[in-house]
A and B are shown apart, each in its own frame.
Chain A
């Protein structure tokens, strides 16, 4: 009899434990769903709410320190005052957050990229801002962020991602190489023809490579096409159309510079190292690399200059943006409130000041560049940023390849560009073949 009793006790304890971790949490989740979202609960500074922030910037050497500072600044000021502790998680390949959500860990805020937004919303439980945050507070906070940027994260009329960090292409210039070649670094090349001229002059005078835009760069390429009036996808995104006359012409001009002997060779992993080592005159890449470039210039004893994306003849150039959005999935009311505090901070004036100064991304609140207490001194000291802030007017988003085969189609496109530019292959044939193959996949 005693034995049965013992079994019964063990059984009851196990059942209790199971229900405590299983059923209990289900009830919690249900509680947060049905409630109205017009108000957020008070947070308790004595007993702070912990939330996690998954960020790819935390995984890259040139951005890591800046992102850490942003999180620490929040924790020490607003976080301490209101009762929020944010824990940053490095997520270099956008895999960690998915793995952790599947494993049942708490993933509250993710620095997501736009192409993944729809998939995140559908399958990983990310929520619309309108559904979790009070509408009036949201509207008030979004003032000062341009309508274009806001629309990037809107799907079916609701905002699933708030544009966060933004980058545009810029021509980074090594001042001492320019001067050595008899060029003025304050007068960057305006057209692609000038790019070639300057590059060849640098090669002849200094022996160093004059210019680089890696054929496999993946996103600036879009800007090269757009600048020559070419499209990559049709308006409704159902068809690739980059092998147009304008597209072929743009690639041929790029190829001509590449094959001139003054263009650096190598891939996107190799060329930045060459520029950082001070062996390259001009390099087109993302503004996000600014802090790393500046540090390298200081260490190497040369000055960093910059210029806008070059244009074809007298057509204005069309820069593209790459960027990230903040996506949220708070599962309790406290977390809703805590998440909102963090988002308000990082996309507010202080947040963008840190992001631009310490990481290099552009401030989405462009007026900060004119405000003495925020970014005005920085922009004056780093005039490169004026170039990018001016470019924001002409900007177009990079191509989001549609559908399930996005990774495959974008790889075919990049491969075709690399082949057309680096080999003797005929540009028109190469682009046409790739376009045909992609359209086969898009059907």
Chain B
């Protein structure tokens, strides 16, 4: 060991100055944990922060993404264009529509389904839960194709049945009709996401101790009172979590169906902010405008998430 050090020029010089050696060792100790963290930081930078910062800078530039060209700065022009564009206002209103509209499908129906299947005995419980879960694992593209066939203006099942029953007398092009397009997108997304909430609520229900129910029923509480005074408060952290997720992600969940079934149409009536961002960026090749929309989206939804966190700390009840 000593012999080796003698051969190495670097360490033998260090040895002659003890204080320096001390700092080097200290530095190594100090750096070690950060070295372990480095890969994580690197990945976080590549996948999260670098794109985030590029979005910030691209929002103030004009660029067509063509290789070899350089983005040119345009100040706030992208934001001005966004706010004066006809479709952007509609897309914001629709985003709100989809966000609020998804809540029954992500919370209310799943809660009922989870509670209803929770007390079931035997195999049927799993059969039902599988049924609710299947839409979630199907690929959105195949879901979209199935719904498109069902609602086809002439060859579709829905039109045929409605005509046969005499409810309508001419075919309806559901996805080309501003009256139906938006609602169908919401319904299909809701149908798809219902299983998600159901599974999470079912898991949360299993976590509630049976003793509480025994105690409360000894006190003479009815089934509804048990649900209201025991189940609901104990599920509140999960309800708030799913509520936050559906508020933040509903626009993402609707994206695939907008793209497949209506392409934002007819005349832009079923689009949402995500789809507009995609259109600006990848159809119009205008990354600046897309980044500006993303930035506004980021700020607004950041505020929603922040407020929600405060809210959930205040209202969620944890059974420790």
Q: How many residues of B contact A (CB 8 A)?
A: 27
B154 touches A407 (CB 8 A): no
B265 touches A418 (CB 8 A): yes
Residues of A within 8 A of B67 (CB): 101-102, 123-124
Interface residue B285 (Cβ < 8 Å from any Cβ of A): yes
Interface residue A316 (Cβ < 8 Å from any Cβ of B): no
Residues of A within 8 A of B154 (CB): 209, 264, 266, 274, 277, 279-280
Residues of A within 8 A of B283 (CB): 407
8 Å CB contact of A273 from B64, B68, B152, B172: B152
Residues of A within 8 A of B153 (CB): 264-266, 270-271, 274
Instruction: Report the nearest B residue to A425, measured CB to CB.
Output: B267
8 Å CB contact of A408 from B155, B178, B265, B284: B284
Interface residue A370 (Cβ < 8 Å from any Cβ of B): no
B155 touches A416 (CB 8 A): no
| A66 CB to nearest B CB, Å | 25
What's the Cα separation between A117 and B187 when bound, in Å?
Answer: 42
B170 touches A270 (CB 8 A): no
| A429 CB to nearest B CB, Å | 14
Instruction: Report the nearest B residue to A441, measured CB to CB.
Output: B81
| B282 CB to nearest A CB, Å | 8
A266 touches B173 (CB 8 A): yes
What's the Cα separation between A150 and B286 when bound, in Å?
Answer: 31
Interface residue B123 (Cβ < 8 Å from any Cβ of A): no
Residues of A within 8 A of B266 (CB): 216, 415, 418-419, 422
Residues of B within 8 A of A264 (CB): 153-154, 171
What's the Cα separation between A437 and B81 when bound, in Å?
Answer: 12
| B159 CB to nearest A CB, Å | 10
Interface residue A136 (Cβ < 8 Å from any Cβ of B): no
B69 touches A415 (CB 8 A): no
What's the Cα separation between A422 and B153 when bound, in Å?
Answer: 14
Residues of A within 8 A of B167 (CB): none
In B139-159, the 8 Å CB interface with A consists of: 148, 152-155
Residues of B within 8 A of A407 (CB): 283-285
What's the Cα separation between A159 and B283 when bound, in Å?
Answer: 27
A277 touches B172 (CB 8 A): no
B285 touches A415 (CB 8 A): no
Interface residue A267 (Cβ < 8 Å from any Cβ of B): yes
What's the Cα separation between A423 and B173 when bound, in Å?
Answer: 13
Interface residue B175 (Cβ < 8 Å from any Cβ of A): yes
Instruction: Report the nearest B residue to A419, measured CB to CB.
Output: B267
A422 touches B176 (CB 8 A): yes
Interface residue B71 (Cβ < 8 Å from any Cβ of A): no
Interface residue B86 (Cβ < 8 Å from any Cβ of A): yes
A119 touches B267 (CB 8 A): no
B176 touches A265 (CB 8 A): yes
Report B54-84 CB contacts with A as 1/0, cut-off 8 Å: 0000000000101111000000000000000
Contact size class for A? 20 to 34
Instruction: Report the nearest B residue to A416, measured CB to CB.
Output: B267
Chain B interface, DSSP helix/strand/loop, else mixed:
loop
Contact of A415 with B66 at beta-carbon distance under 8 Å, contacts A266-B176, A277-B154, A437-B86 already known: no
Report B151-191 CB contacts with A as 1/0, cut-off 8 Å: 01111000000000000001111011110000000000000
A267 touches B173 (CB 8 A): yes
Interface residue B268 (Cβ < 8 Å from any Cβ of A): yes
Interface residue A261 (Cβ < 8 Å from any Cβ of B): yes
Contact of A123 with B68 at beta-carbon distance under 8 Å, contacts A274-B154, A407-B284 already known: yes
What's the Cα separation between A67 and B175 when bound, in Å?
Answer: 32
A404 touches B64 (CB 8 A): yes
Instruction: Report the nearest B residue to A122, measured CB to CB.
Output: B66
In A263-311, the 8 Å CB interface with B consists of: 264-267, 269-271, 273-274, 277, 279-280
8 Å CB contact of A267 from B69, B170, B172, B175: B175
What's the Cα separation between A270 and B268 when bound, in Å?
Answer: 18
Interface residue A405 (Cβ < 8 Å from any Cβ of B): yes
B265 touches A216 (CB 8 A): yes
In B30-66, the 8 Å CB interface with A consists of: 64, 66
Residues of A within 8 A of B170 (CB): 261, 265
| A99 CB to nearest B CB, Å | 10
A279 touches B268 (CB 8 A): no
Residues of B within 8 A of A216 (CB): 176, 265-266
| A207 CB to nearest B CB, Å | 10
B153, B175, B265 interface centre (most CB from chain A within 10 Å): B153
Residues of B within 8 A of A269 (CB): 148
What's the Cα separation between A274 and B64 when bound, in Å?
Answer: 38
B284 touches A270 (CB 8 A): no
8 Å CB contact of B265 from A270, A271, A279, A415: A415
Residues of B within 8 A of A265 (CB): 153, 170-173, 176-177
Instruction: Report the nearest A residue to B260, measured CB to CB.
Output: A269
Residues of A within 8 A of B155 (CB): 273-274, 277, 279
Residues of A within 8 A of B177 (CB): 265, 422
Residues of B within 8 A of A271 (CB): 153
Report A233-254 CB contacts with B as 1/0, cut-off 8 Å: 0000000000000000000000
8 Å CB contact of A415 from B148, B268, B286: B268
A270 touches B178 (CB 8 A): no
Residues of B within 8 A of A267 (CB): 173, 175-176, 265
Residues of A within 8 A of B69 (CB): 123
Residues of A within 8 A of B267 (CB): 415-416, 418-419
The 10 listed contacts between A and B (C-beta, < 8 Å) are: A265-B171, A265-B176, A266-B153, A274-B154, A279-B154, A280-B154, A408-B286, A418-B266, A419-B267, A423-B178
Identify the 10 closest CB pairs spanning chains A and B, nearest first.
Answer: A265-B173, A415-B267, A407-B284, A266-B153, A266-B173, A123-B66, A419-B267, A274-B154, A102-B67, A418-B267
Q: Hey, which bits of chain A sit against chain B, CB under 8 A? A: 101-102, 119, 123-124, 209, 216, 261, 264-267, 269-271, 273-274, 277, 279-280, 404-405, 407-408, 415-416, 418-419, 422-423, 437
- Apart from the given pairs A265-B176, A418-B266, 5 other A-B contacts in the complex at a CB distance below 8 Å: A264-B154, A265-B170, A265-B172, A266-B173, A404-B64
